[in-house]
Amino acid sequence: MGKGTLFEQLFHMSLTPTLVMRCDGEILFVNDSLAHLLRLSKEEVKQLNVFVHTDVFHVQQRDVESLQNGEETFLLLKKKKSRFYPAHIHIQLLQNESDYKEPLLVVQWQEYSSNIEKQEEVIRKMKQYKQFVKQSQDAFIVTQHGLIQYMNPAAIQLLGGSQKDEYMGRSFLQFIHPDHFDIVHERMQKIMSGISVRPRAEVQLLTKRGVVTIESSATKIKFKGQDAIQYIIRDVTDRKKYDEMASKSEKLTMVSKLAAGVAHEIRNPMTAIKGFIQLLKASKQYNEEYHDIMLEELNRVESIIQEFLTLAKPKKETLFEVKSLQQILRHVTLLLATHASYKDCQIVSLLEPDDLSILCEENALKQVFINIIQNGLESMTKGTITVKLEKRQESGVVVIEDEGCGIDEATLARIGEPFFSTKQSGTGLGLMISYKIIEQHNGHISFSSKVGVGTKVEIAIPYIQKPVNV
């Protein structure tokens, strides 16, 4: 017995009312169960059209549009007003049939049951999710073996196309910027192998509109029965530009505040040097003690100028390097020492004796520490700011404590919000940018404060673990 004959016998012997039709509603095959249900002969049923005789079949053209468009492979319709009995109508797409070049639809009628009700609920939720994906402003892309198998309208728009056919079956990696190719490829391999990765990644895409910066999350899913990766992508190009502008604005504000203090700090050693030169000129004799003091003062001037220029120069590109956290803090406290003395304040450093090396962008971290120490100084009329560095588990924790007016709980909860500031002329961008910088360093900031006592800020940054010889 041939396979075709066997399937034909099973079709006709099935107790489930079933027919096979073309996508235009023309009926090709009918089994005995359906003929019995409709109380018609099989030939009489085949003379009908499913979409024309909707009072008989209870299936309309719009019900199967998603199947005809290839968006779905099966449907489950619930018809409570069937003239025979309440029924579920199960419709499935058949493709690549040997005798028919066009796709066919299999329609089955089943009585209500609790199992079918549960199946229907699952299908309903799947439809809701698909509708959400279709209408989402975020781009959704599904890949199998690195090739694009699905994309929603937002993804097409992101890549600058007009139709999904332009991208279906193409490698997703060909749209990744060369600088991030290896990162994305490694993430794909880890996800497919079940290895956990960071939930979000920021990379650049090559689109018809040019290079865009995206933030994406990737998840391993089942797509049409096979393992796949679903990407949820958001274009953050404009947000990145805004962040850079806000960072530059905050940096300029900070540099302008420091300028007067730096000028005063330079004037003091220069006055001393000038005095010693006048003394040497008057005595017309070499004095080694004067020479050493002048060199020391000149070195101090050079150090202050270098720190100021390092902070003020434009940031070209984020480049993480291995740096000493102690050294960064020493530079910051040196730069702010004069500013503190203006306000009858002092900065005391208590640093961990063991050198803590971190992978960082030095200027960005200096911006954070300067911002927080300056905030502390502005909250005091006089007093001490203590800067500590402690080693806790896998992080170096910088603790900055002031003796200022403190912050109440309601205000403390809003710290870090853009455009929220306790200062009359403040923008609130300084701490927002500080949060972002520390997040980029895989660290975190926490605030604690008591009104009338002061505020404590803790900044935890992972340090580089030294290998242990066994």
* Residues of the chain above pLDDT 90, percent: 13
116 with 66, same domain? Answer: yes
Assigned domain for 42 exists: yes
pLDDT recorded at residue 470: 34
Domain extent at residue 49: 3-123
415 with 434, same domain? Answer: yes
Residues counted in the chain: 470
pLDDT recorded at residue 458: 94
Of the residues 235, 267, 290, which one is the last residue of a structural domain? 235
What pLDDT, in 10s, does the model give residues 346-402?
999 988 777 889 998 888 888 789 888 988 888 888 899 999 999 888 889 999 999
pLDDT recorded at residue 1: 47
105 with 143, same domain? Answer: no
Q: What is the CATH number of the domain that holds 112?
A: 3.30.450.20
Assigned domain for 468 exists: no
Average pLDDT, the chain: 79
Q: What is the CATH number of the domain that holds 332?
A: 3.30.565.10
pLDDT recorded at residue 238: 79
228 with 252, same domain? Answer: no
Assigned domain for 470 exists: no
pTM: 0.42
Assigned domain for 467 exists: no
Give the side-chain half-sphere CA count within 13 A for 201: 20
Question: Which long-range CB contacts under 8 A does 5-13 form with residues at least 24 apart?
Answer: none
Residue spans of the chain under pLDDT 70: 1-5, 70-71, 73, 78-87, 95-99, 111-126, 246-265, 267-269, 272, 300, 303-304, 306-318, 416-430, 466-470
Show the tokens assigned to 23.
């996508």
pLDDT recorded at residue 143: 92
pLDDT recorded at residue 163: 86
293 with 228, same domain? Answer: no
Q: Are 329 and 349 in contact (CB under 8 A)?
A: yes
Assigned domain for 469 exists: no
317 with 170, same domain? Answer: no
Assigned domain for 373 exists: yes
Quickly count: other Cβ atoms within 10 Å of residue 383's Cβ.
Answer: 17
262 with 284, same domain? Answer: yes
Q: Are 92 and 104 in contact (CB under 8 A)?
A: no
pLDDT recorded at residue 460: 93
The CA distance from 149 to 370, in Å, is 49
Assigned domain for 131 exists: no
368 with 399, same domain? Answer: yes
81 with 10, same domain? Answer: yes
Of the residues 60, 89, 123, which one is the last residue of a structural domain? 123
The CA distance from 72 to 75, in Å, is 7
Of the residues 202, 217, 235, which one is the last residue of a structural domain? 235
* Residue entry with tokens 């120490």: 373
- Best CA proximity match to 20, nearest among 108, 80, 82: 108
Q: Is 429 left (phi over 0), alpha (psi -120 to 50) or beta?
A: alpha
How many domains is the chain partitioned into structurally? 3
Which residue type is seen at 153?
Answer: P
The CA distance from 173 to 177, in Å, is 8
112 with 9, same domain? Answer: yes
The CA distance from 74 to 120, in Å, is 12
Biggest CA pair distance of the chain: 130
56 with 22, same domain? Answer: yes
pLDDT recorded at residue 67: 80
Assigned domain for 320 exists: yes
DSSP string, 209-277: TEEEEEEEEEEEEEETTEEEEEEEEEE-HHHHHHHHHHHHHHHHHHHHHHHHHHHHHHHHHHHHHHHHH
141 with 98, same domain? Answer: no
